[in-house]
Amino acid sequence: MKKLKENGLIHILNNVYSCIESYVDIPAGKTVELDLGCGKGGFSLALAERFPDSLILSADIMIGRMRKLDSRIRRRGLANISLFRVEARHFTALVLPDASLDRLHILCPDPWPKHRHRHNRLLCSDFIFHIYRVLKSSGVFHFSTDDVKYFKSTVNLIELSGLLVRDDDALNDISDIKTDFEKRWNDIGRKVHHACWRKKNILNHGIHGQHGN
Ligand SMILES: C[S@@+](CC[C@H](N)C(=O)[O-])C[C@H]1O[C@@H](n2cnc3c(N)ncnc32)[C@H](O)[C@@H]1O
């Protein structure tokens, strides 16, 4: 049975979480992209319009932003976006099964620039493990931020994890699409840095293979 949705489109997830398939039908072989922390959702809308055969999942903690996005989806008559009002870590850890996403976008997340607040950042080593887990084989993780320190620390964390391999070409088909925040930053002369990685096939790259075991 499908879970109840607000206004027919927004899934509100608070304390009880089910697998993604109980909220939305995902036929086998469907391309699925997640815009995590989508905000007002300009990026999600652009993805949904460019890739009508894909399913776009858009998630954010702020219900007001989800409602605005809901209205924009209805006005454009898009049927290939599903909205989730949910905390990002809960959605990733509790709702998404292994190997469920073709691309995961985390774009301009809150940077928490003060040193004492850095533990609030979404991108940390635990979370990178979940990113790895929910990506399909060769799935893509796309990150952007205007905060140079956050950008460098994320690149370092991912390199240290050994779970993903850098591949900025995986963005070639969407490099022209900017999020609402990226447009805002660009308007006041701030650059937004992007990076992209593919899921590594650990079995082939050999945790066990390196010493000939
Ligand atoms: C700076 S905005 C960026 C929005 C959008 N990605 C863009 O680039 O225009 C960050 C977004 O992440 C959402 N957010 C922050 N922490 C979150 C969390 N723990 N779970 C889900 N969403 C979160 C905020 O509500 C906000 O909409």
Residue 136: which CATH number?
3.40.50.150
Domain membership flag for residue 203 = yes
**Where are the extended beta strands (E) located within the chain?**
10-12, 32-36, 55-60, 81-85, 101-107, 135-145, 164-166, 193-199
Domain enclosing residue 140, as ranges: 29-211
* β pairing state of 135-145 and 193-199: antiparallel
Which numbered atom of ligand 1 lies nearest the CA of 109? 10
Domain membership flag for residue 171 = yes
**CB contact at 8 A, 202 and 179:** no
Note the pLDDT of residue 9: 78
Domain membership flag for residue 12 = no
Domain membership flag for residue 176 = yes
- Beta-carbon-side half-sphere exposure of residue 115 (alpha carbons within 13 Å): 0
Domain membership flag for residue 17 = no
Domain membership flag for residue 147 = yes
Domain membership flag for residue 177 = yes
6 lines ligand 1 (CB under 6 A): no
Q: Tell me whether residue 70 is one of the annotated catalytic residues.
A: no
Distance set, CA 70 to CA 3, 41, 148, 170, 195 (Å): 17, 9, 32, 28, 28
Neighbours of 107 (CB within 10 A): 22
**CB contact at 8 A, 186 and 179:** no
Note the pLDDT of residue 205: 53
Residues 6+ apart with CB under 8 A from 87: 61
Note the pLDDT of residue 1: 42
93 lines ligand 1 (CB under 6 A): no
Domain membership flag for residue 14 = no
Averaged over successive runs of 10 residues, the pLDDT of the chain (213 residues) comes to 58 93 95 97 98 98 94 94 96 97 97 84 90 97 96 96 96 97 97 98 58 41
88 lines ligand 1 (CB under 6 A): yes
Please count the structural domains in the chain: 1
Determine which residue's CA is closest to atom 12 belonging to ligand 1. 37
